[in-house]
Structure 1
Amino acid sequence: MSTNFCETATRVLDIEAKAITGLKTYINQDFNDACQLFFNTRGRVIVSGMGKSGHIGNKIAATLASTGTPAFFVHPGEASHGDLGMITQSDVVLALSNSGETEEILKLLPVLKRLGIAIIAMTGNPDSTLAKLADIHLCARVEQEACPLGLAPTASTTAALALGDAIAVALLEARGFSADDFALSHPGGSLGRRLLLRISDVMHDGSQIPLVDEQATISAALLEISRKGLGMTGVLNAQGQLAGIFTDGDLRRILDQRIDIHQTLIVSVMTRNCVTIRAEMLAAEALKIMEQKKINALMVVNAEKVPVGALNMHDLLRAGVL
């Protein structure tokens, strides 16, 4: 039997996209109350779910934890065999079950209720036992699963995942969670490098900074560019401040002008009001500036516009920022 895989994939994506869009109907006061409860809790958000809902719950807990809301996942089967001790009365429980009738989840409710722990249910059935017993119900109902048999959780898990992301981002914005905050929980790998490295960590400083006086000739500037190997040199005024910059690109532009590089002063051909950056800024910000301005190097200056460093795209590449 011949199968058109692309046609099937398109149908699946259409169904799941419709499932996510349909969630907008359920973003109401219940959603607002749930987020407020998560925001105000003095403890953690405990996420729990069985099977595929458990996998989604694990991801939701991880996203919450990495965006400023302390959270972790507790398996409902293990919870009834001792892991309930991980949950405190200061916590809030987010229970996931598409049917709202998952036995392992329902068995936890009497104990959680007795401890006075708030329960937020996320189900696809507002009339289910879990939805009715929870303090707040978040509806993640979908019209159909992408599975043609209607058996494998597909659209329903996608909807639950998207709703979890909506919660996490809503809380992130409410907390004023910043890139620096995010970096503290993501110090490893390339993400950590992008978020934690500052200009001062990657720039060339001291005698490595390419600099010439504005009364220097173009030829002297070219020698400085060659010595320092950054493809540019800063140009200083009489007060030691950055007056401009001269790059390899500037050199190519003046070659057709038949300028005498041995007699012409660099001040007459340099780029004034050049783009600069501060040492305390993130290296990722330097990358953004270079991409926006279509330049390959930056001078680093202090508050008095005195050069304290220099860097180029290769420095960012070596540091793993790219």
Structure 2
Amino acid sequence: MSVKPENLSEMFDFRRSAKAVLNIEKQAIEGLHQYLDETFVRACQLMLSCAGKIVVTGMGKSGHIGNKIAATLASTGTPAFFLHPGEASHGDLGMISAGDLIIAISNSGESDEILALLPVLKRRGIPLICMTGNPTSTMAKEANVHLCVRVEQEACPLGLAPTSSTTATLVMGDALAVALLEARGFTADDFALSHPGGSLGKRLLLRVGDLMHAGDLLPQVGIDATISQALLEVSSKGLGMTAVVDADGLLAGLFTDGDLRRILDLRVDIHSTSIAQVMTANCVTVRPEMMAAEAVKLMETKKINGLLVVDADKRPLGAFNMHDLLKAGVI
């Protein structure tokens, strides 16, 4: 007898099942601590000394996990790619060069497709790290280093679908990648070079000097200018502000459209009053090498909408506002 979907939730406790899965997989991850021994250290040392690329391989679900591990390694400073073991025995082994290293993944340690590659890898002298759930398997015995990822049970109640075992393997891969990242001294700037696209790359790569309005686009008036002259500059450059410079071209202050609102309440004559009398003398400035993301944080903290960019001598180089940061995809 079929059960209608709307009645199924009344007959089955989905949350209980999900919580059981999380608990089992949590235990699987905690169980990995026992395997972070000298073999893990040797694996890291072998990968760190690899002059070529890390080639990750695995069949089925292990292959999907291996693909993710390769991607994580590549994006964190360890050149890597995934090689399908089935395709490898039909010509793709040519992708492996002297100086490369293989990470082979199989829960049983007896994957036929991977075992078929071992004689060729041995003959070519390619170092082999195997990640399996069976330390007595053929792959474990043939490996230069074997990383055990054995779990007590799969989260699948049938014990058939790879669940806890694939989670444990993925976590072990993350552990390798992060350990190597730290050992290499890999920085946020290095990470950004691998992720130039999208908002992540823009937040990590873009600097103030890349988006500021400079040259003729920089709003700027002399310190002897009147308020009305400053307003024309603010209006023509469209940034809601203008720098005020002294006779030597050094920054003397800043005037914004916010300052205009304040002086209008004071009934100041904008045609005769000098900008020096109403400008903000000690304004917040930044250097062109500052990360754009840092500028966002500074502007939010100071509750300001725009910033002037200056050199070491406080000479204005450019200006930008929140709209520029938004347009550039930084926020």
Normalising by the residue count of structure 2, what TM-score does the alignment of the two structures yield?
0.84
Distance 1:212 1:157, change over 3 A: same
Name the CA distance, whole Å, in 2 between partners of 1:10 and 1:259.
Answer: 68
Say if 2:156 is the partner of 1:147.
yes
8 A contact 1:218–1:265 mirrored in 2: yes
1:90 partner SS? coil
Name the CA distance, whole Å, in 1 between partners of 2:209 and 2:155.
Answer: 51
Say if 2:29 is the partner of 1:20.
yes
**Which protein shows a greater Rg?**
2
State the shift of 1:89 in Å: 3.1
Name the CA distance, whole Å, in 2 between partners of 1:255 and 1:11.
Answer: 67
- Which residue of 104, 118, 125 maps to 1:109? 118
State the shift of 1:206 in Å: 1.7
> What is the aligned-residue RMSD (CA, Å)?
2.8
Deviations 1:142-190 (A, max 9, x none): 3332222222112222222222122222222222333443344334444
Name the CA distance, whole Å, in 1 between partners of 2:15 and 2:227.
Answer: 60
Q: Which residue of 2 aligns with 1:99?
A: 108
Q: Which residue of 1 aligns with 2:127?
A: 118
Give 1:220-239 correspondences, 5 Å limit.
220-239=229-248
Name the CA distance, whole Å, in 2 between partners of 1:217 and 1:20.
Answer: 69
Name the CA distance, whole Å, in 1 between partners of 2:42 and 2:219.
Answer: 58
Distance 1:129 1:288, change over 3 A: farther
8 A contact 1:217–1:261 mirrored in 2: no
Q: Which residue of 1 aligns with 2:14?
A: 5
* Counterpart AA for 2:134: N
Give 1:179-198 correspondences, 5 Å limit.
179-198=188-207
Name the CA distance, whole Å, in 2 between partners of 1:57 and 1:32.
Answer: 20
* Counterpart AA for 1:33: R
Deviations 1:194-249 (A, max 9, x none): 44443333211122222234454555544433332222222324432223334344
Q: Which residue of 2 aligns with 1:161?
A: 170
Q: Which residue of 2 aligns with 1:260?
A: 268
Unaligned runs of 5+ in 2: 1-7
* Counterpart AA for 1:116: G
Q: Which residue of 1 aligns with 2:63?
A: 54
Name the CA distance, whole Å, in 2 between partners of 1:18 and 1:296.
Answer: 49
Say if 2:97 is the partner of 1:85.
no
- Which residue of 115, 134, 137 maps to 2:146? 137
Say if 2:280 is the partner of 1:290.
no
1:78 partner SS? helix
Name the CA distance, whole Å, in 2 between partners of 1:143 and 1:266.
Answer: 76
Deviations 1:253-305 (A, max 9, x none): 6777x363636655455444433223344433433433444432221112221
Deviations 1:102-143 (A, max 9, x none): 222222222222222211111223333322321112222333
Distance 1:136 1:268, change over 3 A: farther
Name the CA distance, whole Å, in 1 between partners of 2:143 and 2:288.
Answer: 51
Q: Which residue of 2 aligns with 1:276?
A: 285
Name the CA distance, whole Å, in 2 between partners of 1:87 and 1:316.
Answer: 44
Q: Which residue of 2 aligns with 1:317?
A: 326
Distance 1:165 1:307, change over 3 A: same
Identity of aligned residues (%): 68
1:260 partner SS? coil
Distance 1:303 1:21, change over 3 A: farther
* Counterpart AA for 1:210: P
Name the CA distance, whole Å, in 1 between partners of 2:263 and 2:34.
Answer: 62
* Counterpart AA for 1:96: I
2:307 partner SS? strand
Greater Cα shift, 135-144 or 237-246: 237-246
Say if 2:217 is the partner of 1:208.
yes
* Counterpart AA for 1:16: E
Greater Cα shift, 163-172 or 20-29: 20-29
Say if 2:187 is the partner of 1:178.
yes
Name the CA distance, whole Å, in 1 between partners of 2:183 and 2:58.
Answer: 26
Q: Which residue of 2 aligns with 1:67?
A: 76
Distance 1:254 1:34, change over 3 A: farther
Distance 1:151 1:273, change over 3 A: farther
Normalising by the residue count of structure 1, what TM-score does the alignment of the two structures yield?
0.86
1:111 partner SS? helix
